[in-house]
Amino acid sequence: MIAVAYASGVDAGRDVQTFADENDRKRLTPAALAGMRSLAAEWRLTGRQMADLLATSPSTWDRIASETWDRTLNQDQLTRVSALIGIFKGLHLLFANGMANRWPRLPNSGPLFSGRSPIDAMINGGIPIMLDVRRYVDALRGGL
């Protein structure tokens, strides 16, 4: 299971976390990277798939995977991480671990996927599809 400390950085009087603040991004990046390394292992994704999902180069993903990357994720990348971790969590609430971790790689006939796997759909569609997949998983489990 992914062990990531969820730190939204949202105070009661603040707007929803947008990852626009550089200090928030610096604070959240280590947990986000740990989560992505765990997600890659749990979902059995290739380095290329992880690089594409995170919108980075394969060589950057290799440095992230080996824990030698010392930069801060940008707003776009943290939004991607948030969506992917939300999908992971939703799938584990919906299915047993085995299916929860296989589902993202399986061809899917659902309206978002057109026979593709959710991973392929998210790689091709970027953040909008990632957010749609997160809403789809939440709807499947009755979370909407």
pLDDT in tens, 62-120: 999 999 999 999 999 999 999 999 999 999 999 988 999 999 999 999 889 999 999 99
For residue 144, which of 97, 81, 86 has the smallest C-alpha distance?
86
pLDDT score recorded for residue 93: 93
Question: Where on the phi/psi map is residue 73: left (φ > 0), alpha (ψ -120 to 50), or beta?
Answer: beta
Query: Rounded to two decimals, what is the model's pTM?
Result: 0.84
Tokens 């943290």 correspond to what residue?
Answer: 78
Q: Which of 20-24, 72-76, 92-96, 127-131 has the lowest mean pLDDT?
A: 20-24
% helix, strand, coil for the chain, step of 5? 60, 0, 40
CB atoms within 10 A of CB 134: 21
Residue 11, amino acid: D
